[in-house]
Structure 1
């Protein structure tokens, strides 16, 4: 099999990561791009020197060599592009979130299954070196019985960020801090710990002028009994402060953090000597980024096609984290708090 040919649908900021990642992979080739905005399309054509189309239909009709379609449109538009690509027998990579509703996620998953094409969802934080080490420690049983986990996204996305495009911060096309930013951390919790069985939550739109939440707090109970806490906001002043994942168990504690969760901040296990822990932390923190998550997901899609297996981050994974976000929304709307009387 020769090079795998890719097409990018939607020429926004995230599409640049896809194109750069494809160009860093030996057996991958960016063949075409598509956007309904002619100015943006021309800008990308000038930068990357690839064929551009104003409609997905035209691209699919004229570029029969395309193997994989990368869907980088606003989130609320993912379903249409992904389903159409599957119908054309193209493998599909969808940016996070896979969709804004479980029903739309199911349509994407079912279309890819019906037309026998691969489906991957972009949850790149799984491939960060520090997170990979956390996963290995969990799988090896180093934590023992888990007590609780904590995920924090204390970031800044100012009003100018939301004003860049009319769809940003909308319920239909973008979502708030949970669906847009913290969805990465929620995906990590599901991947690391497992399914959630109970949710309590509060959320609000405190500062940004958007339709959706700019701050959210949630308590979780996982199926194995582990408790979890999530805090997420885009209102930290004056700049992003922290993203972290913390896991606390009877025989170990690990915290991965930083402005983005790339650095090991604490690493202590009964099964691991202080010297071994120190060496691991030093090795990871000297090169905290590794291969970009986007590049890892795209490279994995190529291997999945060649080996005829499912991608590492599946459509079901994408659906599960959307379901968790929507469950948090539902819990916040139910508002089952006890009211403190004076």
Structure 2
């Protein structure tokens, strides 16, 4: 199985995670052959830290390099669209961090471009690749839990003034959004991965924690396509970080509660499984046991599946349709807040925010 040669684009802490928690754990599958950053000193330091042989400050020059197979895009959100499109044009596979881009129009343009290209694109949603979440999904999909009733999803994290000293953060032009787009997007992706598409949404958002342009507090009420109801809460003003997902079904309730460092690992164990009847516990446990934890988790697992998809022409573990679904929810929540209305999904051409939610 041929190793893929990867270039990390954007030499910040997320790029470091892609290496340390992903590619670097899979030396038989990937070689991190280059890195790229407009800040030459940052690229030098990044290359030294991770033992990367080649450095670039010009993304176009990187794309001209014949010995690079994949670009892993870890730049500020406003740059993602242009970089992905350039990679496709150059015949390079792309892995792109969230949020994917700033509008459904641009998202649909990427989907159309990939369909015509020789290269492929995978969005990042690494929270899906924890052992705990895989077992929960398997139990839900089996039907043992019965009909879904109601769900609550809480992303209560902390971001202070120091976080926004990074120049591109907190601004619509460069970060594209706040807590809904940057922090809770992962948790909301997990929720929809488990519970299916959203049919209708109402929402309110506010900026109350820091003096920034984008939202740092939000609440939403959803009606899912399966008929169940859900509430979403997100803030960057929690004194103690917490992530909580609670899914109430006819026959069982599933809950994940994580504080502090555990708040950013909702896909991992421990998930609590609460059957409505004691005799159901054994059946649920047996169903959970059918899922074997892989050797890799998180970024490493997603990247390993990416390699397998390229080598064997398989679907990616996270698709452009998944990225679109996450942006469609963002679009609905922003429009619901703006219009004080209930927004119907799916959202397509002709919707007032199809072109994007950022101020002109």
TM-score, normalised via structure 1 length: 0.90
RMSD, aligned CA: 2.3
Q: 313-322 or 41-50, which moves further after superposition? A: 41-50
Once the 2 structures are TM-superposed, how far is the Cα of residue 194 of structure 1 from its aligned partner?
Answer: 1.1
**Equivalence for 2:154:** 152
Equivalent in 56, 59, 67 of residue 56 of structure 1 = 59
Equivalent in 316, 328, 332 of residue 327 of structure 1 = 332
**Equivalence for 1:173:** 174
Once the 2 structures are TM-superposed, how far is the Cα of residue 253 of structure 1 from its aligned partner?
Answer: 0.5
Residue 307 of structure 1 pairs with residue 312 of structure 2: yes
In 1, the alpha carbon distance for the partners of 2:107 and 2:197 equals: 18
Once the 2 structures are TM-superposed, how far is the Cα of residue 119 of structure 1 from its aligned partner?
Answer: 1.5
Q: Is the 8 A contact 1:79 1:107 kept in 2?
A: no
In 2, the alpha carbon distance for the partners of 1:272 and 1:59 equals: 59
Q: What does residue range 59-70 of structure 1 map to in structure 2 within 5 Å?
A: 59-61=62-64, 63-70=65-72
**Equivalence for 1:133:** 135
Q: How many residue pairs end up in the alignment?
A: 329
Structure 1 counterpart SS, 2:105: helix
**Equivalence for 1:266:** 272
Residue 208 of structure 1 pairs with residue 210 of structure 2: yes
Structure 1 counterpart SS, 2:11: coil
Instruction: Encode CA deviations 1:301-327: one digit per residue, 9 max, x unaligned.
Output: 100011112201001100110110111
Task: Please list every run of at least 4 consecutive aligned residues from structure 1 whose deviation after the TM superposition is greater than 4 angstroms.
Answer: 270-282
Against the structure 1 CA distance between its residues 265 and 302, is the aligned structure 2 distance closer, same or farther, given a 3 Å change threshold? Answer: closer
Once the 2 structures are TM-superposed, how far is the Cα of residue 209 of structure 1 from its aligned partner?
Answer: 1.4
In 2, the alpha carbon distance for the partners of 1:110 and 1:70 equals: 20
Equivalent in 78, 81, 84 of residue 79 of structure 1 = 81
Unaligned runs of 5+ in 1: 338-342
Q: 271-280 or 105-114, which moves further after superposition? A: 271-280
TM-score, normalised via structure 2 length: 0.86
**Equivalence for 1:119:** 121
In 1, the alpha carbon distance for the partners of 2:170 and 2:330 equals: 15
Residue 30 of structure 1 pairs with residue 35 of structure 2: no
Q: Is the 8 A contact 1:257 1:263 kept in 2?
A: no
Against the structure 1 CA distance between its residues 272 and 150, is the aligned structure 2 distance closer, same or farther, given a 3 Å change threshold? Answer: farther
**Equivalence for 2:250:** 250
**Equivalence for 2:92:** 90
In 1, the alpha carbon distance for the partners of 2:51 and 2:73 equals: 19
